[in-house]
A = this chain, B = another copy of it.
Amino acid sequence: MTRLPTSRPSRVVIEPVSPVVDGGRFPAKAALGETVTVVADVFAEGHDAIAGALRWRSVPAKGRPSKWVELPLHFHVNDRWSASFTPAKLGRHEVQIDGWSAPAETWRRGTAVKVAAGVDVDVELQGGIAIVERLLTHAADHGTDDDVELLATFRSQLAAGDTSGLDEPQWADLFWRLEARDPVATLPAPLAIDVDPERARFSAWYEFFPRSRWSTDDVDDIDDDGHGTLRDAIDRLDHVAEMGFDVLYLPPIHPIGTTNRKGANNTTDAGPDDVGSPWGIGASEGGHTAVHPDLGTLDDVDALVAACREREIDLALDIAFQCTPDHPWVTEHPEWFAKRADGSIQYAENPPKKYQDIYPIDFETDAWESLWNALADVFRFWIDRGVRIFRVDNPHTKAFPFWEWCLGTLRREHPDTIFLAEAFTRPRVMERLAKVGFNQSYTYFTWRQASWELREYYTDLSTRTVDYFRPNAWPNTPDILTEQLQHGGRPVFVSRAILAATLSANWGVYGPAFELLEHRAVRPGSEEYLDSEKYQLRAWDLDDPASIAPLLTRLNEIRRSHPALQHLHTLRFHDTDSAGILCYSKTDPAGVGDPILVIVNLDARERHDGYVHVDPGSFGLGLGDDDEYEAHDLLGGGTYRWQGWHNYVDLTPGRGAAHVFAIRHPADGAT
C-alpha cells in the first residue's frame, strides 16, 4: 500500500496561469510602475466556498527579502482568480498563491439562501454561532477592535434568531482575514518576476552613427568636414529629444580593425581612407573598452551620458562580442578563439562565404570561465561609466547558458540595466534569448507587412509570449531597408512608423535615414542601403522639407500622453471589410480608460474604404452595442461621432492614410 501524505492536504488546488514562463523555469517580466496582475485557477471539489490570497515580495540580490505583502484573490469566472500589485522596487520579486476552504462563507451563503426560501434554520444558527465564536477567538489576537465588536454583535443576533446580518457586506473582508487557513494550499515554489526599469517596457529608440555629419553640426560644409565625434553627438541630442525619443542608441564606438577592413558598400578592397565598419571591433588602440580616437575619449562618453541624462534620455551602447584580427584579445587570449587545422584562428564563415575580417569568439573553449568573466566585465566597464542600456549585437550566436549567467549576474549587481537582443533569427531562438534575460527583443515586425501577417504576429506577441518577450519594433535598421521601404515611397514610411509606434510599446528608428526617407538599396534584391553608413561617412540634411520628423514627434507625443500605448497586454484586433486596412485597439491596463483605436491603410498606393467592426464594449467605457461614442483623431485632428459596432472609414495614401483615435464617451464632450 502506498503511504498516505503526512498530513491532510488542502482540498484546494492552484494552477498558475499568468505570469508564468515555462512552468516557473524562468522569471516573468514586469516594470516599475506597471500593475502586475497574477492570474490563477483556484478551486476545490464540490461547491463549498474557498478563498485565496496573493503574496508578493521583493527579493534583492543583497540583503534579506522584504516581508510578504498579502492581497485577496478576486474571483472572475470558471474558477479563475486574480490579484494585482504594483512593485515599487527594481529587481527580483516573488509571488506565491494561497488557497483555503472558507467554511464561514459556505455557512453564511447557504444560510442566507435558506432564510430567503423560508426554510427553518435553527440548526444553521447554532452552527453559525460556533463559527462566529471561532472567529472571535482569532480576532482577539489578530483582528481589530471593530472586528471584535462586529462579531460579538453578530453572535448576539444569531443567538436571538435574528438573521438580518447575514447579507452585510463586511463579511467578505472579515472572513478572508480571520478564517483559519488550515490546511492552506500553495504553489510548490514561488514564481519569480523581474522588475525592470519603466523604460524596458515603454521606450522610443533613435539610432544614429556619430561619425557621420549632420547639417545641424557646427561646421561649414556637412559634406566635407570629415569624421563626426561624440561631442557632435551631444549637439544632436536636442534634435533627438525634440522628436520625443528617450533612448539614443549608438553603433559600436570602439577602435576599428584594419586587417581585411571592408570598404564602402561592403567591398573587400578598402583603401587607406575607408573608415571601416564599427562592428569590426578592435585595433592597436584597444578593444571593447576603448573609444575610437576619431570619435573621442572616455571623457567624451562621460559627457555624452551626462548630456543625455539632462534630457531624460538614456544612452544605449552596442555590445558586439566579436573581434577583428587586430583586437588585443587575439594576442592576449588566443585560447578564446577556435583554431583551424593549420593552427590559424578560425574566421567567421557561412560556407562557402568567408568573413576574414571577423574572428568569432569560441564559446566551447576550455577557457570558458575566463572568457565569460571578461565578457561580463565589458558590460561592467560601461555600466561603471553610467551606461545602463545595451543593444547586444547577434546574441543568437553566443551560448544561451552564457547569457543566462551573464545577464542574471549583471541584473543582480545593477537591476536598472536594460538589454535589447538584436536577433532576427528563428522564433524559438529569439524567445529563448528573452527567457534567459534580455529585457527587449528585436522582432519580425520589419517583414510583417500584410494585414493578416501583422494581426497574426502581434496576436501571438501579445498573448503567448507576453509574460517574457517585449517586442521592440523597428521600421528600418542599418541592416534592413525592406523592399517595401525601397519602393513604397513616403506613404510606407508613414504607415510603418504609425504601426511600430502604436502596435509596440517599444519602438525605434535608424535615423536620420528614416525621417529623411532614405530608400536607395545597394542593389536590386538587397536589403542593404546604398552607401551605407556601416562602411562610410554620410552627410544628412536635417532641414530637408520631405523629413517626416514632425510625424515621429507627434507619434511620440501621443504615446506619452496615452497610457494605453505604453503596454502590449491589451492589444486587440478588429475585423475590417478591406484586407488593406488594419484595425486594432489598446486600453490602459490600469483600468483608467483612455482607449486608443488605430486604423491604418497598409497600401502605399491605393485608397481603401469600408467598415470597421469594433465591439464598443471593448473600449472599457461601458458602451453598449448601439451606443454612440466620439473618435478623436490624434493624428489628423477632427472628431467623429461613431455608433455601435460598424463604422465607415476612407483612407487615402498621402492624404490621411491612418487614424489614431482617442475614444471618448460622448458625455465627456469633445476637446
Report A333-363 CB contacts with B as 1/0, cut-off 8 Å: 0000000111010000111100000000001
Asked if A10 is at the interface (CB within 8 A of a chain B CB), the reply is yes
Report A397-414 CB contacts with B as 1/0, cut-off 8 Å: 111110001001100100
Q: A31-49: which residues lie under 8 A (CB-CB) from chain B?
A: 41, 43-47
Asked if A267 is at the interface (CB within 8 A of a chain B CB), the reply is no
Question: Which of B127, B130, B341, B368 interacts with A123 by CB under 8 Å?
Answer: B341
The answer to whether A45 and B396 touch across the interface, beta carbons within 8 angstroms, is yes
The answer to whether B43 and A351 touch across the interface, beta carbons within 8 angstroms, is no
> Which residues of the other chain, B, contact A4 by a CB distance below 8 angstroms?
369, 372-373, 405
> Which residues of the other chain, B, contact A64 by a CB distance below 8 angstroms?
none
The answer to whether A428 and B46 touch across the interface, beta carbons within 8 angstroms, is no
> Which residues of the other chain, B, contact A408 by a CB distance below 8 angstroms?
2
A597 to B35, CA, bound (A): 49
The answer to whether B428 and A41 touch across the interface, beta carbons within 8 angstroms, is yes
> Which residues of the other chain, B, contact A124 by a CB distance below 8 angstroms?
341
The answer to whether B8 and A45 touch across the interface, beta carbons within 8 angstroms, is no
A653 to B119, CA, bound (A): 50
A414 to B80, CA, bound (A): 35
Asked if A665 is at the interface (CB within 8 A of a chain B CB), the reply is no
Asked if A161 is at the interface (CB within 8 A of a chain B CB), the reply is no
> Which residues of the other chain, B, contact A429 by a CB distance below 8 angstroms?
43, 45, 79
Asked, given contacts A4-B405, A119-B352, whether A127 binds B340 with beta carbons under 8 Å apart, the answer is yes
Asked if A525 is at the interface (CB within 8 A of a chain B CB), the reply is no
A405 to B101, CA, bound (A): 20
Shortest CB-to-CB span from A77 to chain B, Å, is: 10
> Which residues of the other chain, B, contact A13 by a CB distance below 8 angstroms?
400-401, 432
> Which residues of the other chain, B, contact A11 by a CB distance below 8 angstroms?
363-364, 399-401
Asked if A669 is at the interface (CB within 8 A of a chain B CB), the reply is no
Question: Which of B15, B126, B400 interacts with A342 by CB under 8 Å?
Answer: B126
The answer to whether B43 and A341 touch across the interface, beta carbons within 8 angstroms, is no
Shortest CB-to-CB span from A57 to chain B, Å, is: 21
Asked if A78 is at the interface (CB within 8 A of a chain B CB), the reply is yes
The answer to whether A127 and B341 touch across the interface, beta carbons within 8 angstroms, is yes
The answer to whether A401 and B126 touch across the interface, beta carbons within 8 angstroms, is no
A79 to B111, CA, bound (A): 58
Asked if A9 is at the interface (CB within 8 A of a chain B CB), the reply is yes
Asked if A110 is at the interface (CB within 8 A of a chain B CB), the reply is yes
Q: A245-279: which residues lie under 8 A (CB-CB) from chain B?
A: none
Question: Which of B1, B113, B351 interacts with A352 by CB under 8 Å?
Answer: B113
Question: Which of B22, B119, B368, B426 interacts with A15 by CB under 8 Å?
Answer: B22
Shortest CB-to-CB span from A108 to chain B, Å, is: 11
Asked if A117 is at the interface (CB within 8 A of a chain B CB), the reply is yes
> Which residues of the other chain, B, contact A624 by a CB distance below 8 angstroms?
none
Least CB separation from A367: chain B residue: B8
A344 to B4, CA, bound (A): 29
Report A121-155 CB contacts with B as 1/0, cut-off 8 Å: 00111110110000000000000000000000000
Among A13, A124, A351, A409, max chain B CB count under 10 A is at: A351
> Which residues of the other chain, B, contact A636 by a CB distance below 8 angstroms?
none
Q: A501-560: which residues lie under 8 A (CB-CB) from chain B?
A: none
A45 to B425, CA, bound (A): 10
Asked if A385 is at the interface (CB within 8 A of a chain B CB), the reply is no
> Which residues of the other chain, B, contact A114 by a CB distance below 8 angstroms?
351-352
Asked if A169 is at the interface (CB within 8 A of a chain B CB), the reply is no
The answer to whether B351 and A113 touch across the interface, beta carbons within 8 angstroms, is yes
Asked if A5 is at the interface (CB within 8 A of a chain B CB), the reply is yes
Asked if A190 is at the interface (CB within 8 A of a chain B CB), the reply is no
The answer to whether B412 and A9 touch across the interface, beta carbons within 8 angstroms, is no
> Which residues of the other chain, B, contact A349 by a CB distance below 8 angstroms?
110
Among A43, A125, A342, max chain B CB count under 10 A is at: A43
Asked if A293 is at the interface (CB within 8 A of a chain B CB), the reply is no
Report A367-386 CB contacts with B as 1/0, cut-off 8 Å: 01100110010000000000
The answer to whether B350 and A47 touch across the interface, beta carbons within 8 angstroms, is yes
Asked, given contacts A11-B399, A22-B23, A341-B126, whether A428 binds B78 with beta carbons under 8 Å apart, the answer is yes
> Which residues of the other chain, B, contact A130 by a CB distance below 8 angstroms?
341
The answer to whether A110 and B351 touch across the interface, beta carbons within 8 angstroms, is yes
25 contacts between A and B (CB under 8 A): A2-B408, A4-B369, A4-B373, A9-B401, A10-B401, A15-B22, A15-B428, A22-B23, A23-B23, A23-B25, A25-B188, A41-B428, A44-B399, A45-B363, A45-B396, A45-B400, A46-B397, A78-B428, A79-B429, A101-B364, A111-B351, A113-B351, A113-B352, A123-B341, A127-B340
Which 8 A/B pairs are nearest by Cβ-Cβ distance? A23-B23, A126-B341, A117-B352, A9-B401, A127-B341, A2-B409, A113-B351, A110-B351
